[in-house]
Structure 1
């Protein structure tokens, strides 16, 4: 498959696999995966069913803006005295309320992480060291055989200086900016960079 073929994506069948997408889409998905990992990996590890996990969740919910509303949205109707008793470990919620508290905690934590893009920028910038990008080329099994490029391989390198703009583009839904950023990313590859305008997936080592 020639470089011109990549510029006319789908002419030779590459679009038959819905997993083959433009790099800007794959980059956006990879950034969303990083956000999800930040939410989960930085969260409370103890289960809500344990006293430690319950107290930690209640402390978070009652010390962060929107926590009481998150509890209400999750279905908690208990009064202030009962909520204090849960927080202080003096009373154990019913199983349904434990599940609602867990839901409220993760909902609020996700909201707070998403509302603070500076955290994601700092995470990806990694004190100036940047983040490793792993680029998986498109699935060529769906491409007409004479047009396949069997020499394409996974490419991996450290990317710096793009993450502030990438996070801004993600949070504002600016796909044009993500496309420009992706063009910058693949320009770091060799003269065959055009073959990576479309990919099957992107992994970020963050």
Structure 2
């Protein structure tokens, strides 16, 4: 695809891929449990979320949490503690299930019945780039009306699809959309 940066950061520019910034913002909007899974409170919050119904248990198993009901009960009662590997599985299953559960609601909030959501794109940090090599990039705002592909890729944790979906949105910035492939931040609220 044209305008894709092959050697980003070679001259000292700093930033992150636009789709990664979008995923971070969507994660903030999803409202994950803040307490870490290593704390008892965080572990219990995640386990209650993953075991509150048969549907939730099935989704947790599909997301990779494949322990027995007896083990889950022991974790919930506090008689046993999950291993580090199982803590990572619990966290991953929780994030996967939470993303799937909030995706539809988040999509409706972002699309706003066709009106879309205003997105602010903060350009990459060029403070370490020598003056002759700096690009002229500035803060840009864009109204994204179709979030379907972006939210679907985010919910599926598919980075490649999320990158492609995000590039489809920033092409609306015009002929210099490639300058916004890497950013310091992408902000929007729903």
Q: What TM bracket, shorter-length normalisation?
A: 0.5 to 0.7
Structure 1 residue 160 corresponds to structure 2 residue 153: no
Aligned to 1:204: 187
Contact 1:133 1:204 in 2 (8 A): yes
Gaps of 5+ in 2: none
Aligned to 1:122: 108
Q: Distance in 2 between matches of 1:174 and 1:92?
A: 39
Q: Distance in 2 between matches of 1:15 and 1:54?
A: 38
Distance 1:92 1:134, change over 3 A: same
Distance 1:104 1:161, change over 3 A: same
Distance 1:153 1:86, change over 3 A: closer
Q: Distance in 2 between matches of 1:32 and 1:57?
A: 21
TM-score of the pair, normalised by structure 1: 0.56
- Give the number of aligned pairs: 174
Contact 2:74 2:80 in 1 (8 A): no
Q: Distance in 2 between matches of 1:114 and 1:197?
A: 29
Shift of 1:59: 2.4
Shift of 1:136: 0.7
Aligned to 1:42: 32
Shift of 1:53: 4.4
Structure 1 residue 173 corresponds to structure 2 residue 158: no
Shift of 1:133: 1.7
Distance 1:60 1:178, change over 3 A: closer
Q: Deviations over 1:72-92 (max 9, x none)?
A: 3xxx57x62x543543xxx42
Shift of 1:109: 2.0
Q: Distance in 2 between matches of 1:137 and 1:108?
A: 33
Contact 1:124 1:163 in 2 (8 A): yes
Gaps of 5+ in 1: 1-6, 188-192
Q: Distance in 1 between matches of 2:8 and 2:48?
A: 51
Distance 1:135 1:126, change over 3 A: farther
Shift of 1:112: 1.9
TM-score of the pair, normalised by structure 2: 0.60
Q: Distance in 2 between matches of 1:102 and 1:84?
A: 15
Q: Distance in 2 between matches of 1:109 and 1:130?
A: 27
Distance 1:86 1:205, change over 3 A: same
